[in-house]
Chain A
């Protein structure tokens, strides 16, 4: 089973809002164990693409397959149950819970407790709770915020909330984690910490698909990159290939993100 079957394939995905084509016939495939990035200028359709993959928005046409299973028209919670979790650009921690409860909620789909066994608090419910709590603590240790476990998630600084979202996304052992602009709003120290966490998790076999603006990160950690502009895919390849693709440089790197490219070069 070591042939390179894509874990996620996006086929001719299109989204039309009224008369505007936000995403136009985009296709790509993510292999298992890859860190795959989607980049593009603001308004290029990255978020729309992301929302279609996670089931938040229905696509106008085209399909998404995850391990041969069609995701199109599935609800977000069903997609999560198949093994795709995500983080959010504008942080969506459960602000009414403690940090550890946030992570425990991430393990929701791996647990068996139902309303009846929970109410009666059968012995295996308690066992499961303890097991999940231990695993959640380990997940918090992995991202380096276990000392904040009993704080209200709301009180965490921005960077820690992002790490919390990653721990929450990873706790259910998904096969693919989608990161929506993970570097947005982080200072350079926090970004470095986050990159470290992502690389470490990839070593353990996790696949990442992320949408990002921060060129430095994209170039330094991605295996492959897809570039979209005005909803159309204009390039695909390794960071080196993207850097040398004249169309990409003209559309995106050339005028807007020179610093990023220079930093990479």
Chain B
């Protein structure tokens, strides 16, 4: 037996991710519109947050309504450490991630001692507290006016300034994050997490420490959100607390639901659809209904969330996979069945 047999359980092939990213990185050959790149870069930031959040939701079964806070902690850590103190941006990203991890531990430890959906409540409150801090600690964060002049990020002498350079940067990070998360899911850790969903009592009985696993996933998802926030800060060079309100946390959750909770690729799909719909709404709603305020977004996405949960609770990507596999399996269904039953009788004869 070797790693080939391992592939019978887990698809660890690099082919899929490579093709996807090769196509993505070829987009600059087709267009040079800064608008397109700025949109795709935003999708990248959101996707990075969602990769962590979808795993927390789909595998650890926990709902966080406070990931915008970690997104914000990353952004403000980077802003303050590089803008005010002149630290190296990469070092600032790491410090921001460490701060987010520690904060996640502080929120998570007491919460996970309780059974049920207390994380949702705890993170909702926590998100509001963090938002208030961003706003009120104006001597550090610039308060409601925002934080100006965040320096750009550079690597080996190359400075990331243009939209297209950030597009490359964030999507390479997303690529690495996807591989990292997939590796986790296809391992002891992933089985431990899935066992909780399969049967909590049996997971406990085989020695899986449920609380520790939920906590670890929460911390990891906080780190992902924080890193995304850090890159966002360098990209837009100006941040204000309104980017990190509770609504943002809910939008992250909506992206996760659209793509399919627990589906890593779904986080990219969810982020892309969210950004696309959001842009369309911003363009067309004022044309159709000139008197409508900014609240239509939350109404629209609220309705979308309800419809998704009723008609497609597993999200778009699993739905799509189902359809594809239906078409794929039809011709070979008989032969697979035969080989299974042949194996079965072979086993009985032993």
Contact = CB atoms under 8 A, between A and B. Distances in A.
A150 interface: yes
Contacts of A108: 188, 191-192, 195, 206-208
A83 to B, nearest CB: 10
A219 to B, nearest CB: 28
B205 A119 contact: no
A113 B198 contact: no
Interface in B158-214: 180-181, 183-184, 187-192, 194-195, 197-199, 201-210
Contact of B2 (A81, A105, A130, A172): A130
A80 B207 contact: yes
Interface stretch (B76-84, B135-143, B339-347): B339-347
B258 interface: no
A98 to B, nearest CB: 6
B191 A119 contact: no
Interface in B314-350: 340, 343-344, 346-348, 350
Closest 7 CB pairs of A and B: A147-B347, A94-B198, A80-B207, A109-B207, A92-B202, A118-B187, A76-B204
Contacts of A145: 347
A137 B206 contact: no
B347 A144 contact: yes
A120 to B, nearest CB: 7
Contacts of B189: 113-115, 118
A118 B184 contact: yes
Among B2, B209, B346: residue with most chain A CB under 10 A: B209
Contact of A92 (B1, B6, B201, B344): B201
Given A76-B204, A86-B205, A109-B206, A133 B6 contact: yes
Interface size classification for chain A = 35 or more
Interface string A93-131: 111111011001110110101110011110001101110
Among A94, A109, A150: residue with most chain B CB under 10 A: A94
Nearest to B197: A96
B33 interface: no
A119 B264 CA distance: 14
Contacts of B283: none
B207 A150 contact: no
Given A113-B189, A121-B183, A100 B201 contact: no
A134 B1 CA distance: 7
B204 A125 contact: no
Interface of A: 54, 56, 75-77, 80-81, 85-86, 88, 92-98, 100-101, 104-106, 108-109, 111, 113-115, 118-121, 125-126, 128-130, 132-134, 137, 144-148, 150-151, 168-169, 172
A134 B256 CA distance: 36
A130 B52 CA distance: 27
A147 to B, nearest CB: 3
A147 B343 contact: yes
Interface size classification for chain B = 35 or more
Contacts of B216: 115
B9 interface: yes
A98 B8 CA distance: 10
Nearest to A145: B347
Given A119-B181, A130-B3, A133-B1, 17 more contacts: A77-B207, A77-B209, A93-B199, A104-B191, A105-B195, A108-B191, A111-B188, A113-B188, A115-B184, A119-B184, A128-B188, A129-B6, A129-B188, A130-B5, A145-B347, A148-B347, A151-B340
A146 B347 CA distance: 7
29 contacts: A76-B205, A77-B207, A80-B204, A80-B205, A80-B206, A85-B205, A85-B206, A86-B205, A88-B201, A92-B205, A93-B198, A94-B202, A95-B199, A97-B194, A108-B206, A109-B207, A113-B187, A113-B189, A118-B188, A121-B187, A125-B187, A126-B3, A128-B188, A129-B6, A129-B188, A130-B2, A137-B1, A148-B347, A150-B9
B144 to A, nearest CB: 38
A144 B344 CA distance: 11
A133 B204 contact: no
A34 B190 CA distance: 35
A105 B191 contact: yes
B93 interface: no
B220 interface: yes
B277 to A, nearest CB: 31
A100 B9 contact: yes
Contacts of B188: 104, 108, 111, 113, 118, 128-129, 132
Contacts of A100: 9
Nearest to A81: B207
B346 A119 contact: no
Contact of B208 (A77, A86, A146): A77
A150 B187 contact: no
Contacts of B210: 77
Contacts of A144: 347, 350
Nearest to B189: A118
Contacts of A54: 205
B183 A96 contact: no
A44 B244 CA distance: 58
A92 to B, nearest CB: 4
